[in-house]
Amino acid sequence: MFPMRSLFITLLLLLQLLQVAHAQFLSGPPKAVPSLIADTAAVAADKPFTLGIRFALADRWHIYWQAPGDSGAAPQVEWDLPPGFTAGALQWPLPHSLKSEGDLYTNVYEGEVVLPVEIHPPKELPAGPFVFKAKLKWYVCSETCLPGAGDVSLSLPAGQPKPANAEVFTLWKNRLPQSSPAPFSVEWSRTPDALLVKVQGAPAGEKVEVFPIPPVGATADHPEPISRTYRIPTTNQGQPESWKALVVLEGGAGERRGWEVGAAFAPGVSNSAVPTSGGTPAGGATFTPKTISPESATATAAGGMAGVLWAAFLGGLLLNLMPCVLPVIALKIFGFTQQAGEDPKRVFRLGLAFVGGVFTFFLGLAFAVIGLKAAGSGLNWGFQFQNPLILTALIAAVFVFGLNLLGVFEITLGGDTNAKLSALSSKQGYGGAFLHGAFTTLLGTSCTAPYLGVTLGFAVSQPAPSVILIFLTIAAGMSLPYLLLTSNPTLLRFLPKPGAWMERLKQVMGFFILGVAVWLLSVLGQSRGTAALSGACAFLLALGVACWLLGTLRSRPLALLLSVALAFGGYHVFLKEALHQTASLPASKSALTEKWEPFSPERVNAELAKGHPVFVDFTAEWCLNCKVNEHVTLSKPEVQAAFKEHDVVLLKADWTNGDPMITAELNRFKRLGVPFYLLYHPANPEPKVFPELLTPGIVLEALEALPKK
């Protein structure tokens, strides 16, 4: 009864915590309410009209402009129109710049905003009525940010067009960038780390604001005004000629007028402010993809924080099924089997110790995320596989663990301490179960399970309490199978009885774990080259001798002294220098890798300018999910044939060593890890985002929408 009662109390506390989170983040009315309006009461053949996506926002809440600024994401729309109707680009009224703590500036709308879209009916109009539908996704922010999603629709009859909502559309169309000549000129120049926009001839007494619109793949911090020159810091300029800027003039009465200007860098020549259309420019920067994957839809559903927590829980649960975790799960099942004949209360306490290790690891990650955010550092998921020192320590831990299972040595304590601990915990101590829980999670972070990548991307944008809550919810999902197994003795009853076979199974698991060490060695070799790989092998040989000495020498102090000396000596002699060298191994030249070229945002823009579709594979040598996708889907003959048929350029973004350029691109799409896949279409500036687990059917279906060469 004790285990089930404890489990019930634990689940009750978790449920209460989720309810508190739900009340904290979703109490009160919705923060953004979308609707669809039209400037006409009826639709006529071949006569364009305007639909407006209207957002009514709660007090002190805002949504974002097409180029959000230092953070945020612009609203996204997917249309479902009657047959023959087409929609133009979203038109973006003039935004306001909002300053937040930490010197962050975002470009936002507050109170209410209407985003106009021009609709073109067909020349031959069928009988009405006509239903216009749109799927919307947005972020609404105040002191915290909430993802939202919703469907809006509007039915219009066929007939002679009659004005409707005239005041609303007049108001918001007047706030669009103007098509008349601008009363100023703009001169562009560039430095290695910034673009400079000089506004000349603006009317005296009017305030000038500049809102940069970077092209796809480029980054822009908020402009820094220096007189009438605006410096736009950027770590990735992309194609500078593709940049645009919105220049806004504000008079003394608060009247605001704006013009979109393109970039030109001819030496000594000013670029006149040639207006562009009020719609989204080709290459206009938004941080979320137009096509939302099922995983992203789950993490950004209208349920807000409750939906994010549910996605986090599922992600943690599914993390147990990832190939990065399966070897260690096999060891834990073996451990539970070994304990099946013992006191059920003790088995449950061992399970709690294991779960404690999982929660402690995720809590540590949460505090690390909070600390890195406070320090302004970039974040990624799987960092331990990119840092050679951490990776080496992980290889050594796996190797020693495998030798222990093979019986090369046993970890024991002498004297009364060993006797007392042995009486308390027999062969499987609570400390060991705790460390196994943390160790399982450490290996598991090399793959981001379905739902988990987007959920983590959302987590790092939240305040500290939300970050902690989301990470603990992931831990709850990952821990649930172990907690259920150890809390219910009837389940353990179905496991095999202890016997001599258990020692053999333990040895088999030892070889299994050594196989994991071999895989980790291959990751180290790919990132640091043959010198590091051979040095690591020599270091493991010294470490193996050290473990053997622990298991054979009778003098415990001497065994410990010699073992520590061998381990440290082996590292300094064979491995320390090699870890600081760059990889000298040539890239693999398999049939698959020969078809892929290195990724860069500039290369994507160049290929799109030539009219070529681009498929980008964000991958890493330590990501087993990536390898599964490569062999099960991307290397399939029918998929490769479809890539060739549609003249798709294949680019590989290798994140094995944590390339900062690739990290920035992942962060731009709110992703913290790999695998991640994008398909760019020359006619659409927003790429299609694929699920993290691919199938040939998913890829082939997306390629069918591309033109054939």
Which of the given ranges, 185-199, 414-428, 515-529, has the highest pLDDT on average?
185-199
Mean pLDDT to the nearest integer, 37-49? 94
Architecture of domain 31-173: Sandwich (2.60)
Selected residue with higher pLDDT from 219 and 75: 75
Residue that is written with structure tokens 């950004």 in the block: 300
Residue-wise pLDDT tens digits, 458-493: 555 566 787 788 888 888 888 887 777 777 756 656
> Residue 553: helix, strand or coil by DSSP?
coil
Sign of CA dihedral 353, 354, 358, 361: positive
> Residue 655: helix, strand or coil by DSSP?
coil
> What pLDDT is attached to residue 153?
93
Residue-wise pLDDT tens digits, 270-315: 344 444 433 333 333 333 333 333 333 333 333 456 767 777 787 7
- Residue 589 pLDDT exceeds 90: no
Residue-wise pLDDT tens digits, 8-27: 444 444 444 444 343 334 44
pLDDT band, very low/low/confident/very high, at 322 (cuts 50, 70, 90): low
- Residue 157 pLDDT exceeds 70: yes
One CATH from 2.60.120, 3.30.360, 2.60.40, 3.10.450 for 185-272 = 2.60.40
- CA 560 to CA 573: how far, in whole Å? 20
- 99 forms bridges with which residues in the sheet? 105
Displacement of CA 607 from its chain's centroid (Å): 25
304 with 140: CB under 8 angstroms? no
Residue-wise pLDDT tens digits, 591-624: 344 579 999 888 888 888 888 999 999 987 767 6
- Residue 709 pLDDT exceeds 80: no
First to last CA, the chain: 69
- CA 656 to CA 653: how far, in whole Å? 9
574 with 643: CB under 8 angstroms? no
- Residue 93 pLDDT exceeds 80: yes
Task: Map out the domains of the chain as residue ranges.
Answer: 31-173, 185-272, 294-580, 593-704
Residue-wise pLDDT tens digits, 424-465: 333 456 676 777 777 666 655 544 444 454 455 555 556 678
Mean pLDDT to the nearest integer, 99-110? 79
Shared fold status for 185-272 and 593-704:
no
147-161, 299-313, 354-368: the lowest-pLDDT one:
299-313
109 with 118: CB under 8 angstroms? no
- Residue 317 pLDDT exceeds 70: yes
DSSP state of 407: T
CATH topology of domain 593-704: Glutaredoxin (3.40.30)
pLDDT band, very low/low/confident/very high, at 584 (cuts 50, 70, 90): very low
